[in-house]
Amino acid sequence: MTDLQTKIASVDWYHSIDMGNGIVTPGHYDHRPYLPNYRLPANLDGKTALDIGTASGFFAFELEKSGASVTATDLPQWEDRDLGPNYSYEGCPVNTETYMREPFEIAREALGSKVRKKFINIYDISPDTVGLFDLVFCGSLLIHLSDPLKALWNIAAVTREKAIITTVIMPGEMDRPIAELAGFRVGDSWWVPSRRCFELMTASAGFAGIEWISDFRLNYRDGREGPYHGVIHAYKTEEGWTPQTISSRELIDSQA
What is the rounded CA–CA span in Å between residue 204 and residue 211? 14
Residues near 172 by beta carbon (within 8 Å), at least 6 away in sequence: 194
pLDDT at residue 94 in the model: 66
3-state secondary structure of 251: helix
pLDDT at 201: 98
Tens of pLDDT along the chain (256 residues) come to: 689 999 999 999 999 999 999 999 999 999 999 999 999 999 999 999 999 999 999 999 999 999 999 999 999 998 899 998 888 877 677 688 888 899 999 999 999 999 999 999 999 999 999 999 999 999 999 999 999 999 999 999 999 999 999 999 999 888 899 999 987 777 889 999 999 999 999 999 999 999 999 999 999 999 999 999 999 999 999 999 999 999 999 999 998 7
CA dist 138 and 154 (Å) reads 11
Q: How far apart are CA 105 and CA 13, in angstroms?
A: 12
Rama region for 200: left / alpha / beta (φ>0; ψ in -120 to 50; rest): alpha
What number of other Cβ atoms are within 10 A of residue 139's Cβ? 23
SS3 176: coil
pLDDT at 47: 98
What φ, ψ does residue 248 adopt, rounded to 5°?
-60, -40
CA 206, CA 152: separation in Å to the nearest integer? 9
Tell me the C-alpha distance between 204 and 235, whole Å: 12
- For residue 247, the cross-strand partners are 209
- Residue 107 confidence (pLDDT): 98
Give this prediction's pTM: 0.96
